[in-house]
């Protein structure tokens, strides 16, 4: 379904990003794995993807850096000559109540999650405009829709991604470029593993499907949006949350 396509996945070393990279590779896409610190995991992922009969490279870049994002896009172009799919997944949290939140905690989360998404879209859009084709998929969060105590910085960054998604979708649509967002709910990752069983049970009580999501649940929606089946979908936010926000 994605044979010979080139896909960049930011923050792909582990968790949701890794699942997305593997799913796109399963469908035939060549993968550019972006990572910031997870070099070992990125190397292992490259080898795993290559066993699927597609190409994979890894590129270290901090998405909060405009210049490093430019290098990421340039490296992908040098290797594959095109960029069909951009998945902006890289993100961080620095949770604490607003009264305790340091200015740097707010700035760092916005710089990585929101500005990082802008940086990658900015550099990649030049390529996609020339191609007159592209799929941009931004990973937001249900927290960007409803907010959450102790996550003012994270919620602001993820809400910003939704606004950015809709604006860019309107700007680039006439050139055959779709831009959509995926808003995961509570997904089983390293972060949720640290939660107590009591808290997990409390969370599941708020989810109609009564379970946490898996990274594959998110990856499947990203794969759909990256495919030709979603060619007439743009500017949308798809919740992958088991019905938590409805």
Catalytic residues: 154
Please answer whether residues 23 and 223 qualify as being in contact, where contact means their C-beta atoms are separated by less than 8 angstroms: yes
Please report, for residues 135, 146, 171, 175, the alpha-carbon distance to residue 163 in angstroms, rounded to integers and kept in the order given: 17, 14, 13, 20
Please answer whether residues 223 and 242 qualify as being in contact, where contact means their C-beta atoms are separated by less than 8 angstroms: no
SS3 content of the chain, % helix, strand, coil (to 5): 50, 15, 35
Return d(Cα 108, Cα 115) in angstroms, integer.
10
Please answer whether residues 119 and 136 qualify as being in contact, where contact means their C-beta atoms are separated by less than 8 angstroms: no
């Amino acid at each position: 379904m994605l044979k010979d396509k080139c896909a960049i996945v930011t923050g792909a070393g582990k968790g949701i990003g890794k699942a997305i990279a593997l799913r796109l590779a399963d469908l035939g896409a060549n993968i550019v794995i972006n990572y910031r610190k997870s070099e070992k995991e990125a190397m292992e992922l490259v080898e795993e993807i290559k066993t699927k009969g597609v190409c994979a490279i890894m590129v270290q870049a901090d998405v909060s850096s405009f210049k490093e994002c430019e290098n990421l896009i340039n490296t992908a172009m040098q290797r594959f000559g095109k960029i069909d799919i951009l998945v902006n997944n890289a993100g961080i949290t620095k949770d604490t109540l607003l009264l305790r939140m340091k200015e740097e905690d707010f700035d760092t989360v916005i710089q990585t999650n929101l500005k990082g998404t802008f940086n990658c879209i900015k550099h990649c859009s030049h390529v996609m405009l020339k191609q007159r084709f592209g799929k941009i998929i931004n990973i937001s969060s249900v927290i960007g829709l409803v907010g959450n105590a102790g996550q003012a910085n994270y919620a602001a960054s993820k809400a910003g991604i939704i606004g950015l998604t809709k604006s860019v979708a309107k700007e680039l649509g006439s050139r055959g470029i779709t831009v959509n967002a995926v808003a995961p709910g509570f997904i089983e990752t390293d972060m949720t593993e640290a939660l107590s069983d009591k808290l997990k049970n409390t969370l599941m009580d708020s989810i109609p499907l009564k379970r946490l999501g898996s990274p594959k649940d998110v990856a499947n929606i990203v794969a759909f949006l990256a495919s030709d089946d979603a060619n007439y979908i743009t500017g949308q936010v798809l919740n992958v949350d088991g019905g938590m926000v409805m």
